[in-house]
Structure 1
Amino acid sequence: MQWEAPAEGTALPPLVCVHGGGGQSTDWFGVSADAPGWAPRAVEVGYPVYLLDRPGHGRSPYDPTRLGERTPFPDYAGAAALFAPDPGDPTPFNPAWEWERLPGSPELDALVASSGGILLNTALSQELDARRLVDLLERTGPAFLITHSAGSSAGWLAASRAPALVRGIVAVEPIGPPCRDLGPRGSLEYGVTAVPLDGVGRRPLEALPVLIVSGEASGRAENDAATTAFLADRGASATHVRLGDLGVTGNGHGLILEANAGHALAPVLRWLATQQAQ
């Protein structure tokens, strides 16, 4: 875990960023110095930002005796298929990845270098993620969470277990749709999580402000819409934003680190400002 805050101090609440899948906290910095990711951009506008490495990822060492098996590290083809598909492929194409898409490209090299395997025991992974996140929140105080992809489950669990510490959640293309079968990794047995959402004397996500963000070119918007509906049914105040509807186009699943990351972040900053004003 690391953190950064404006040198001159700030009155803005902290943001805690939780990375996705086989990534790590450095994903929030971006893959090019010329196109910073969401973390440095949030600090620039005044937010203290905490970057969490989920157990078994990045700077949180992988211990197979405690964490079990994990999937193989993604190769260039696997990373590119998810974050930088070839324009000729039938899969969604994201022109917001403005760089080369072949090995040797500094940006794709950086993305692959930061990628690792995913724990096969999803329930264990999410349980450990949630514990680590709650532990961090007990030190930062109430914060907004910004989660990406598979990291979103930690956010839902932390909000259900420590509601006073989670002011709201921005979930960027969260893992879904609800009850998704993850194959050898298990399933989202409890809708958006693989372990129960335990509300303490309340509905698990009662009145939780949530913003779900979908890239225009990722092909995930319908899944995100289903996740939004599931959360709303559980009491959350959930809103779904499709970046394409706001004129932010070409984004794939890695919209937090693509060349137009600043444009993708702008509606999130507006939402955060609205929540703080309430």
Structure 2
Amino acid sequence: MNFWKGSLAILLLGCGTNAPAGASPAANGPAEPLVIQQQGSFAVGETVSQAPGTFVNNAPTTQGQSFHGDHLYAFYQVPVRRRALPIVMLHGAYVSGRSWETTPDGREGFQTIFLRRRFPVYLVDQPRRGRAGASMVATAIEPTPNDQLFFDQFRFGAWPNYFDGVQAARGPEAMDQFFRSLTPNTGPYDAQVIARAMAALFDRTGPAILFSHSQGGEPGWLTAIKSANVKAVVAIEPGSGFVFPKSELPPEMPSVAGTLKPQAVSAEDFAKLTRIPIVIYYGDNIPTSPTAERGRDNWRVRLAMAKLWVAAINRHGGDARVVHLPEIGIRGNTHFMMSDLNNVQIADQISRFLAEKKLDRED
């Protein structure tokens, strides 16, 4: 279904640029209008359960009633003079599609940055999270204090101190906004449930580019296996769920935050990942040797596993790369580089990748 054949035009003003795909705007430069041809939202990938019995209108019980759940929620915007391939943005753990929107300190996030670069953008709330909270499986949601854990784990610093030179927006207001963007699972996390819903979304969008973040890495790989409409994957700090052929599983990787385990898929499914370009980005303050700092050691093994995964993809004839940003002179990035102070610079890196792979062609 084609969602952008309409006449709606919306002018959005903000910080940014309507520059070509690889161009970086001047800092704090004047904003040009962002013209949106069409926008909307929908649910997809749903499951429906049906209770036995007969529904009685004036004496309702669960009997005879249905329940819709395990769908994802997608909000889309299509700019005027759009590029051919939309971008679908899948969030990570404990957050929602909001993580791609306005940054905690009020700047434009990847949603608007890439709209300005004339890509249609679809923001996802995955099944059992955010605006797709209707879970087919029950779970308990407790108000567990964990803000300081996430400050460390997402590499803003070691609570209460920020890392030197970190690209995160500092100050109580920005951190308050970040903490309020965290949201729980409303059902057990299930990568296959997410991937099935994501594949249904790609059935709706047609050929598109997948951006994934953190825990979204595993359902991102599974989505690309399930849907030939995934034409490339841009993965920002995938944290788990690296899939390997069953006969080529690397050793598990222990860290002070727990043991990272590879996931097995069939050789046939793994081969599907070798047919599309893939780029993975990791930020700064990731150690190369074991450390007692839980928040950092957690990412040491994830970066190491990502490098083994890319090597396996390329060994099978694929086109994948890991970009460790400090190694190319970009320093200070946190786990949320799409909302860091230099998020336009990170977007420029991604735009160059999309241009290189001819994924930014005009419609």
TM-score range, shorter chain: 0.7 to 0.9
- Give structure 1 stretches of 5+ with no counterpart: none
TM-score, structure 1 as length reference: 0.81
Q: Which has the higher strand share?
A: 2
Does the 8 Å CA contact 2:105/2:174 hold for their aligned counterparts? no
> Using a 3 Å threshold, how does the CA distance of structure 1 residues 145 and 67 change in structure 2: closer, same or farther?
farther
Does the 8 Å CA contact 2:77/2:120 hold for their aligned counterparts? yes
- Aligned residue in 2 for 1:116: 183
**Structure number with larger C-alpha Rg:** 2
CA shift for structure 1 position 134: 0.6
> Using a 3 Å threshold, how does the CA distance of structure 1 residues 9 and 29 change in structure 2: closer, same or farther?
same
> Using a 3 Å threshold, how does the CA distance of structure 1 residues 71 and 207 change in structure 2: closer, same or farther?
farther
What is the number of residues matched between the two proteins?
262
* Residue correspondence of structure 1 range 208-219 to structure 2 within 5 A: 208-219=276-287
Does the 8 Å CA contact 1:157/1:197 hold for their aligned counterparts? no
2:224 aligned residue (159, 163, 173): 159
Q: Is 1:25 paired with 2:89?
A: no
> Using a 3 Å threshold, how does the CA distance of structure 1 residues 246 and 136 change in structure 2: closer, same or farther?
same
> Using a 3 Å threshold, how does the CA distance of structure 1 residues 132 and 74 change in structure 2: closer, same or farther?
farther
CA shift for structure 1 position 119: 7.5
CA deviation string 1:257-278 (max 9, x = no partner): 1111111111111101111269
- Aligned residue in 2 for 1:80: 151
CA distance in structure 1 between the partners assigned to 2:178 and 2:286 by the alignment: 17
CA shift for structure 1 position 5: 2.2
Q: Which has the higher helix share?
A: 1
Letter in 2 for 1:211: V
CA shift for structure 1 position 35: 2.5
SS in structure 1 of the partner of residue 358 of structure 2: helix
Give identity over the alignment, percent: 22
- Give structure 2 stretches of 5+ with no counterpart: 1-73, 243-251, 288-298
> Using a 3 Å threshold, how does the CA distance of structure 1 residues 177 and 129 change in structure 2: closer, same or farther?
closer
Root-mean-square deviation over aligned CA pairs: 3.2
1:45 aligned residue (81, 103, 117): 117
CA distance in structure 1 between the partners assigned to 2:134 and 2:165 by the alignment: 32
- Aligned residue in 2 for 1:250: 332
CA distance in structure 1 between the partners assigned to 2:86 and 2:357 by the alignment: 13
CA distance in structure 2 between the partners assigned to 1:88 and 1:75 by the alignment: 13
> Using a 3 Å threshold, how does the CA distance of structure 1 residues 240 and 4 change in structure 2: closer, same or farther?
same
TM-score, structure 2 as length reference: 0.63
CA distance in structure 1 between the partners assigned to 2:128 and 2:341 by the alignment: 28
Which structure ranks higher in relative contact order (CA pairs < 8 Å, sequence separation ≥ 6)?
1
- Aligned residue in 2 for 1:176: 240
CA distance in structure 2 between the partners assigned to 1:75 and 1:141 by the alignment: 39
CA distance in structure 1 between the partners assigned to 2:148 and 2:280 by the alignment: 28
Does the 8 Å CA contact 2:94/2:183 hold for their aligned counterparts? yes
